Amino acid sequence: MNNLDILDFCTQNPEPAYDPFYSKAESSLIISKDNGTLNDLQKANRMMIESISGISALMSCPEDNSSAIDSLIKKIASILDSCDGINYSELVSYFSVNDVSFSVYSKLSKNDKLDFLSEIIKEYIKDRHSIYLQYGYTDTSLQSKADSFAHKKSGPQGSSKIESILASMHVIYKPITTYIQFCSASACYIKPDLADAHLFKEILAKKRIRFDWSNAHIGKVPDFCIKIHDNILIGEQKHMKESGGGQDKQVVELVDFIDQKENSNYIKYISFLDGVLFNQIFNHPSKGKMEEQRSKIYEILNRNENSYFVNTAGFRRLISLASSKNLT
């Protein structure tokens, strides 16, 4: 199979909407699994709600309770400053209704925070607190808010996915610290963007690999460098689900990555577009930016036979072909 055959295989095996490699169900859990055992966040949030109820009660009294109210506001300010995850609370969510993010609030001086809270809590009591009390405050609101931001925290999951795929195909990540070890291994890989940057630079120098992409992208290194038999597969992976803004810039990086050519046929460049954006570019052809990206990719693959643009299925096929010495 050549690079265009592999891309065709990718389009026939599109990316799934749900990919278990990117599930954050366990790591994003911020409340206790057992409602009989509250964690620090839950305790702090309940204490804050009680304080807001206290302020509400004091505000309805005819006498002057400003001193007691100030004390409760300071207590709430202390909770907001010290409790990890409190930005997912109902009160903080209400900040956004009034055009104030938690990050903006966090940068205020101590006195400005107290002034802001004294105003916003009064509005919160009027607009939200009594309604929430009527329906019942629940810790699940903390979790649901945290879950709504979970998609922004991919972290090392892309690297873990590659590692899992390679391990299933008997390409094991193992300690390789020298150029000789890398060259003598029949199947191995290194992570230039993590612990193996120095070794990768040595490989480039001794194998006389230009790797021009790095110069055009402020010295960036690839996500993986895989050796299978005589082939060296240098690759960049990006997990993306939709286009626009920063995502378009990342697609440009992937397109530029395969637009490299070395003197040796054993050096392969791989752009791994991981996620349903791949389907939008190739399986649901549209006009505009994605049409330009698609056309550019085909143009590059036609003139660079040692470059590959793949999705998950294509990456697996590529590794399988390299392992069986059938990669052309």
Of the pLDDT bands very low, low, confident and very high (cuts 50, 70, 90), residue 153 is low
Other residues' Cβ atoms within 10 Å of the Cβ of residue 6:
23
> For 63-72, 163-172, 236-245, 303-312, which range has the lowest pLDDT when averaged over its residues?
236-245
Contact 30, 41 (CB under 8 A): yes
d(CA 207, CA 136): 66
Tell me the pLDDT tens digit for each residue of 5-33.
999 999 999 999 989 888 777 777 999 99
Contact 256, 299 (CB under 8 A): no
Tell me the pLDDT tens digit for each residue of 109-126.
999 999 999 999 999 999
Among 240, 234, 267, residue whose Cα is nearest residue 252: 240
Average the pLDDT over 193-214 and give the result. Answer: 94
Residues 6+ positions from 148 with CB-CB distance below 8 Å: none
| pLDDT of amino acid 149 | 83
40 has a pLDDT exceeding 70: yes
> For 95-99, 130-134, 171-175, 288-292, which range has the lowest pLDDT when averaged over its residues?
171-175
Among 219, 57, 27, residue whose Cα is nearest residue 125: 57
Residues 6+ positions from 242 with CB-CB distance below 8 Å: 276, 277, 280
Residues 6+ positions from 125 with CB-CB distance below 8 Å: 52, 55, 56, 59
Q: C-alpha angle with apex 327: 322 to 328, nearest 5 degrees?
A: 160
Q: What is the pTM of this model?
A: 0.77
Higher-confidence position of 86 and 64: 86
69 has a pLDDT exceeding 90: yes
